[in-house]
Chains A and B, each alone.
Chain A
Amino acid sequence: MANTESLENIVLELRRGVIVLAALSQLGTEEYGYSLLKKLADLGLEVDQGTLYPLLRRLEAQGLLESDWKIEESRPRRYYVISAEGKKILTKLKKEWAGIVSVMDKMLA
């Protein structure tokens, strides 16, 4: 029982680390919170709303995302898109990720 719990926690930690990269990578085109959540889920990454929405706000505060309210289907939605600064960071993050993957592949082979 304790083991499944710690396994869950470790998996959660692992996922949490990649959410920023995942979100930035998928915001080349505008998305609102819920559509991004579904997009990530469709691609196979289930993210909790409680994690994703505050994260989007944080990334915007850091200048990596830009956002804008738009009214669609009579409902206001906040659309996020990656900023110029975010694109620079994303390029670097991608390299980091490739590095991590290759190192871990070697270790786990």
Chain B
Amino acid sequence: MNLIDRYVAEVGRRLLLVKGRKDIENELRSTLEDMLEERAQKSGKPADEVMQMELLKEYGAPAKVAETYNPNPYLIGPRIFPFFMFILKIVLAAVALGLGIATFIQIINLSPMSAVQLLETISKGILNIFSTSIAVFGNMALVFSLIERFAPIADFKMDEDKEWDPASLQKEPEPQEIKIWEPILAIVFTFIALSLFNFNPHLIGIYHLDEGEWKVIPLLSEAFFRWLPLLNIAWVAEIILNGMLLRTGKWTTSTRLISIGTKLFQVIILALLFAGPSILAVTPASLATGGITDPEAAQTLSQLAHTGMKIVLGLAIFGTVVDMIKSVYKMFTARATA
């Protein structure tokens, strides 16, 4: 292998992902040999290593030469970079939120714990979020660099490719702002619901004083807890949605879509709760232990409670459906004016 061959190989090594690399190498070799021959003729002596060195020095560093042939010097180019950032933000937010919730649940599970244990769990959670975020970033960069290399550019139009109408600046978008405390309240209450129903269901019940001691009659039946996993999904979705709202500060098409999706999901769960056996654990017998000793009164009360629950569920379904329709409408009016 002479110096020119080595030089060509060095350039080729830097063009591994470039189409027609062999062709570029051959063309480069042929050019260099032509140049060398010309120099040899001019100087009147056969080409030697010194002459090769001079030539290659003038031709430039292999990295620089390779660069001129590389049509795509980006890992993630300007066309898909905004898309990359968009997805990255969502995924990182989801990671932070998911692991945050996991840490929260862990704290609840391990409670009661000492202050040291608590600090330890929290710092572990934070470290976990950091290391997972870095891994996620790396994986996403990998996926997007593959997209950059193998997906046709035409699939990712830049904004300036589209015809732009300055008139779009004049149109005032429908106010989609939200009050900041709404999502915060929603998140706090959803967390409370999550921790209460999942970890402390014994606290949900009817409290009564029995000989100077507080007793609890369980309020919710097995029928309710069977659907708890679905409810958890709905609550987590609710938290994610409100987290997004908190970040954007206003409704967007994507948050509207997520909101409509979670509401639809909630309607399905509510319908399941409505159609199935009663989710209340109240029976005449349980009421009797609560101090209602008259069997007839207990029977009537229990009946009332079950019917009342069905009515509440029915109203909740109706309310959620109305909310959903409102969201759909707002999304379309916002789109029409945007």
Contact = CB atoms under 8 A, between A and B. Distances in A.
Contacts of B20: 57
A92 B265 CA distance: 61
Contacts of B34: 32, 34-35, 75, 77
22 contacts: A32-B30, A32-B31, A33-B27, A33-B30, A34-B30, A34-B31, A34-B35, A35-B34, A49-B31, A49-B59, A50-B64, A51-B68, A53-B27, A53-B28, A53-B31, A54-B69, A57-B20, A57-B24, A58-B71, A75-B34, A76-B30, A78-B23
B69 A57 contact: yes
Interface string A55-88: 0011000000000010000011110000000000
Nearest to B31: A34
A75 B36 CA distance: 13
Contacts of B30: 32-34, 75-78
Nearest to B28: A53
Nearest to A48: B68
Nearest to A35: B34
Interface string B57-71: 001100011001101
B68 A53 contact: yes
B26 to A, nearest CB: 6
* Size class of the contact patch on chain B: 10 to 19
Given A34-B31, A50-B65, A75-B34, 7 more contacts: A32-B34, A33-B27, A35-B34, A49-B59, A53-B27, A53-B69, A69-B26
Contacts of A32: 30-31, 34
B33 interface: yes
A63 to B, nearest CB: 15
Nearest to B33: A75
B155 to A, nearest CB: 19
| Consensus secondary structure, chain A interface | helix
| Consensus secondary structure, chain B interface | helix
Contacts of A75: 30, 33-34
Interface of B: 20, 23-24, 26-28, 30-31, 33-35, 59-60, 64-65, 68-69, 71
A33 B31 contact: yes
Contacts of B24: 57
The listed residue with most A CB atoms (<10 A of its CB), out of B20, B59, B68, is B68
B65 to A, nearest CB: 6
Contacts of A76: 26, 30
Contacts of B64: 50
A76 B27 CA distance: 8
A50 to B, nearest CB: 4
Closest 7 CB pairs between A and B? A50-B68, A34-B34, A34-B31, A54-B68, A78-B27, A54-B69, A77-B30
Contacts of B23: 78
A85 to B, nearest CB: 20
Contacts of B69: 53-54, 57
Contacts of A78: 23, 26-27, 30
Contacts of B33: 75
A64 B31 CA distance: 22
Contacts of A51: 68
Interface string A22-50: 00000000001111000000000000011
A53 B60 CA distance: 14
A20 B216 CA distance: 87
Contacts of A34: 30-31, 34-35
Nearest to B19: A61
Contacts of A49: 31, 59
A54 B72 CA distance: 13
Nearest to A60: B20
A49 B24 CA distance: 13
A76 B28 CA distance: 11
A51 B60 CA distance: 12
A77 B34 CA distance: 10
A49 B26 CA distance: 15
Nearest to B70: A54
A31 to B, nearest CB: 12
